[in-house]
């Protein structure tokens, strides 16, 4: 083996190592991003803690879930309209948001907002916060317990 062949094989191995490192970094970066996005789908926190602020939202019959999400994002009720579309599709209220005027709060979770907007289309306001309880048995659905009053 001459020196030219040795240099070429070292160079070839170095290129393969660099390409391998780049591929691993790419996979790692996008795996973390995908995990974070997936976590937000099911565990997104409210925009504010404590009392928050009340925001009136009007939903018309011709609005799509994407448009509703954009309105909620513009009013600082949620952080990502695209994420809202996925959350709505995976919720028990899929395609159940009804037209109406809703009083939502920045301290509500997305699940609570969807539950309110899917209730019956009237202007509703929760007496207390919507309590989300998870069953102790693995695999059972989450239940939503609400106390509703119809605004007059």
84 and 126 share a domain?
A: yes
34 and 63 share a domain?
A: no
Neighbouring residues of 97: CB distance < 8 A, sequence distance ≥ 6: 59, 65, 68, 88, 114, 117, 118
Domain tally, the chain: 2
pLDDT at position 18 over 90:
yes
Contact 79, 41 (CB under 8 A): no
In a domain, 93, yes or no: yes
Whole-prediction pTM: 0.63
Give pLDDT, residue 51. 85
Give pLDDT, residue 52. 85
Q: Phi and psi of 136, rounded to 5°?
A: -75, -20
- Using CA atoms, how far residue 36 sits from 23, 43, 91, in Å, is 20, 10, 19
100 and 142 share a domain?
A: yes
What are the tens digits of pLDDT across the range 60-99? 999 999 999 999 999 999 999 999 999 999 988 888 899 9
In a domain, 49, yes or no: no
96 and 141 share a domain?
A: yes
In a domain, 143, yes or no: yes
26 and 63 share a domain?
A: no
Distance of CA 82 to the CA centre of its chain: 8
């Amino acid at each position: 083996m001459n020196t030219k062949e040795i240099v070429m094989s070292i160079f070839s191995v170095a290129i393969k190592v660099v390409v391998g490192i780049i591929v691993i970094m790419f996979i790692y970066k996008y795996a973390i991003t995908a995990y974070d996005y997936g976590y937000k789908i099911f565990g997104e926190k409210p925009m504010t803690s404590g009392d928050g602020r009340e925001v009136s939202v009007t939903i018309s019959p011709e609005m799509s879930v994407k448009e509703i999400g954009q309105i909620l994002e513009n009013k600082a009720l949620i952080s990502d309209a695209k994420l809202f579309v996925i959350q709505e599709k995976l919720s028990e209220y899929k395609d159940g948001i009804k037209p109406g005027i809703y009083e939502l709060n920045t301290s509500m979770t997305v699940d609570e907002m969807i539950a309110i907007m899917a209730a019956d289309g009237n202007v509703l306001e929760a007496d207390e916060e919507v309590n989300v309880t998870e069953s102790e048995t693995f695999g059972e659905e989450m239940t939503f317990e609400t106390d509703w009053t119809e605004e007059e």
